[in-house]
Chains A and B, each alone.
Chain A
Amino acid sequence: MHTPRTTLSVRGLHVNYGDHAVLKDVNVDFPDRRLTAIIGPSGCGKTTLLRTLNRLIDNTEGTRITGEVLLDGQDIYARGADVTGLRRKMGLLSQRPTPLPMSIFDNVAFGMRIHGERPKQQIAERVEYFLRHASLWEEVKERLHQPAGGLSIGQQQRLCLARGLAVGPEVILGDEPTSALDPISTRHIEDKFTELKERYAIIIVTHVLRQARRLADHVVFMYLGEVVEQGPAEQLFNDPQHELTRAYISGSIS
């Protein structure tokens, strides 16, 4: 196993909502081509951390952000940083799937159409490619031009995955991406992650410890806005260094 290079790292990050400090001096390295799980009790700032990584947090009023988030060595919060370009490099899966109010086909084509004026033929090919990539093609090929809202929740989440992959990201972010799904759809998505981490850095927030154990190569444990411990999954789960981590993993705090 080669040592993974880091594409994304967080340095001295503080986030406040008004007077409420939500993230305090967070430092994390997210390894490339690995799956990192961010775990921790509800309200500890996992979602907030994820939203700083692609600057979605910009759209929340009243936030103050200091520190650096380095993507390929560039601080994404530097003045004049290209926010839409940065977001392109980050696919996002949210807690509930968010099909755009348009057809299945148009959902996947959305990003391509926004970013480039590829010819029609090529868009169609790429839509098929990414739907296959997300293991959804066989289920939807007969109804590509029907509204995406008609799909089952599990299918919708795979559609969101296809849509995100279609803009060519380097990193895939997931905020409890399976929490709204049934067990079978959850399996689908988890299998997909295992496959995709060959090519992408994947960062998922999860409060299901078993999921983190199943999927993660690297784990970040947060508590009350601070990163308490981070490291290879094996080490963190089997030999946690910190008392809080031990307590959380054994289930005595949640």
Chain B
Amino acid sequence: MGNRIFLSDPTACTAEVVAGARLLAVADRVGPDRAWRRAAMDNLMRVVVAMFAWCMPLLLLAIAIGLAVKAMPLISTTPLMDLLTSSEWRPLKGEFGFLAFIVGTVEVTLIAVLLAVPFGVLSGIYLSEHSNTATKRLAVPVLDMLGAIPSVIFGIWGVVLIVPLVRNGIAPFFGVASTGYTVLTGGLVLSVMVFPLITQVVHEVVRTVPNGLRDAGLALGATNWETTRKVVVRKALPGIWAACILGFSRAFGETIAVLMVVGNVVQIPWNPLQAGYPIPALIANNYGEMMSIPMYDSALMFAALLLLAIVLAFNLYARRVLKRMEIRAN
């Protein structure tokens, strides 16, 4: 699972070491007088492993550079500030203001995160601290599976269930007429997608708190709940924060499920019961279709670059927090 990577880096490392050791053992059997063979194998493996290790960052760099080059025509003709703060979106006139899309993205993401964080964090803590083995044995694989469901399925579920709920329930309750395809709908669907991720990471992070600390709290006469709240959660706080950031960046970049329920109207959604148009939806809906319009291609590339930069920044930040926690735990 992608979201496990943060905590399992060290094991990946051991796998390499084991593989290397096995190769050396084979080389050894060729003959003890062939020491150079082992040295050669050692060097060869070092190069191969290094090559694979460097592939990933290079790939990322290639994507970023590709996007930047394609976005250049737009960036070089329109000031960056205008692109980010204008809401005039008239591709035919060559006006590309991204504000409506940015606001749409942020709104959908915030709704999702605000809903998913309390539930995700509490479930993760519950799973680690207060559930028995049977519950864990059930819940952990279920969370894994939820994370593996293709997002288009969440989208369909949103269209079938959440859209009518918003149209016939939530919107009328607030006295608003709505098609049901709104920013709120997008946020609700997204929150359900992000919730398992947050739960999973919080669970893993809280588990790394050493048992000695729990004992210390209890031995001082604190109840289980006091120990959880005042000792364990406190210790795990940076990691819990990182889990929320990961949830945020996952929500931020999610495309299909949101696109299916959010309405896709170019406007600043002043309230969540209006339709919106988040950046990923913009790119997915229009790429390849409106290429006859000058600069449109470049504008979409700019949007993609923006998305990539924000998601990367959040991910890197969350990884750093988790890493630091892991170091301190050992």
**Chain A residues within CB distance 8 Å of chain B:** 54, 56, 59, 61, 84-85, 87-88, 90-92, 94-96, 98, 100-102, 110-111, 114-115, 160, 163-164, 167, 173
Q: A100-B231, A101-B234 are in contact. Are A56 and B221 (CB under 8 A)?
A: no
Binary per-residue interface labels of chain B (29-43) against chain A in the complex, 1 for a CB within 8 Å, 0 otherwise: 000000000000000
List A contacts of B222 (CB < 8 A): 84, 110-111, 114
Closest to B232 in A: A101
Q: Inside 8 A of A167's CB, which chain B residues have their CB? A: 220-221
Which listed residue, A95, A101, A164, touches B220 by the CB 8 Å rule? Answer: A164
Q: Is the interface of B mostly helix, strand, loop or mixed?
A: helix
**Using Cβ atoms and an 8 Å threshold, which residues of chain B touch A96?**
212
Q: Are A100 and B213 in contact (CB under 8 A)?
A: yes
Q: List 23 A-B contacts (CB under 8 A).
A: A56-B215, A56-B219, A59-B218, A87-B221, A88-B220, A91-B219, A96-B212, A98-B212, A98-B213, A98-B215, A100-B213, A100-B216, A100-B230, A100-B231, A101-B231, A101-B234, A110-B230, A111-B220, A114-B222, A114-B230, A167-B220, A167-B221, A173-B219
**Across-interface contacts of A111 in B (CB, < 8 A):** 220-222
Pair B213/A114 contact, Cβ less than 8 Å? no
Q: Measured between C-beta atoms, what is the minimum distance from A210 to chain B in Å?
A: 26
> With contacts A59-B218, A100-B216, A100-B230 known, what are 10 further pairs, Cβ within 8 A?
A87-B220, A88-B220, A94-B215, A98-B210, A98-B212, A98-B215, A100-B213, A100-B217, A163-B220, A164-B219
Q: Which residues of B contact A92 (CB under 8 A)?
A: 215-216, 219
B221 touches A102 (CB 8 A): no
B235 within 8 A of A: yes
Which residues of chain A are near B213, meaning CB under 8 Å?
98, 100-101
Most buried by B among A88, A114, A173: A114
Contact A90 B219 (CB under 8 A): yes
B235 surroundings in chain A (CB, below 8 A): 101
A173 to B217, CA, bound (A): 15
Q: Which residues of A sit under 8 angstroms from B234, Cβ to Cβ?
A: 100-102
| Minimum C-beta distance from A91 to chain B (A) | 7
Range for the number of chain B residues in contact with chain A: 20 to 34
Q: In the assembled complex, how far is the CB of residue A116 from the closest CB belonging to chain B, in whole angstroms?
A: 11
Cα-based distance from A114 to B235 in the complex (angstroms):
18
CB pair B218 A87 closer than 8 Å:
yes
CB < 8 Å neighbour of A56 from B210, B218, B223, B230:
B218
Q: Name the residue of chain A whose CB is nearest to the CB of B213.
A: A98
Asked if B133 is at the interface (CB within 8 A of a chain A CB), the reply is yes
User: Which residues of chain A are near B226, meaning CB under 8 Å?
Assistant: 114
Interfacial chain A residues near B217, Cβ < 8 Å: 100
Q: Is the CB of A54 within 8 A of B216?
A: no
Bound CA span A247–B235, Å: 45
5 A-B pairs with least C-beta separation: A92-B219, A88-B221, A98-B216, A101-B235, A98-B212
Chain A residue contacts of B70, Cβ below 8 A: none
Nearest opposing residue in chain B for A90, CB measure: B219
Please give, as numbers and ranges, the residues of chain A lying within 8 Å of B219 by CB-CB distance: 54, 56, 87, 90-92, 164, 173
The distance from the CB of B308 to the nearest CB of chain A, in whole angstroms, is 36
Q: Is B14 an interface residue (CB 8 A)?
A: no
Q: Is the CB of B214 within 8 A of A59?
A: yes
Bound together, the chains give a CA A167 to CA B218 distance in angstroms of 12
In chain A, what residue has the closest Cβ to B209? Answer: A101
Q: What 0/1 readout, one digit per residue, does chain B (210-250) give for beta carbons within 8 Å of chain A?
A: 10111111111111101000110011000000000000000
**Alpha-carbon gap, A92 to B224, bound state (A):** 17
Q: Does B132 contact A (CB under 8 A)?
A: yes
The answer to whether residues A84 and B231 also contact, given A59-B214, A98-B212 and a CB cut-off of 8 A, is no
Distance A61 CA – B222 CA, assembled complex (angstroms): 19
Which of B214, B222, B234 is the most central at the interface, judged by chain A CB atoms within 10 Å of its CB?
A: B222
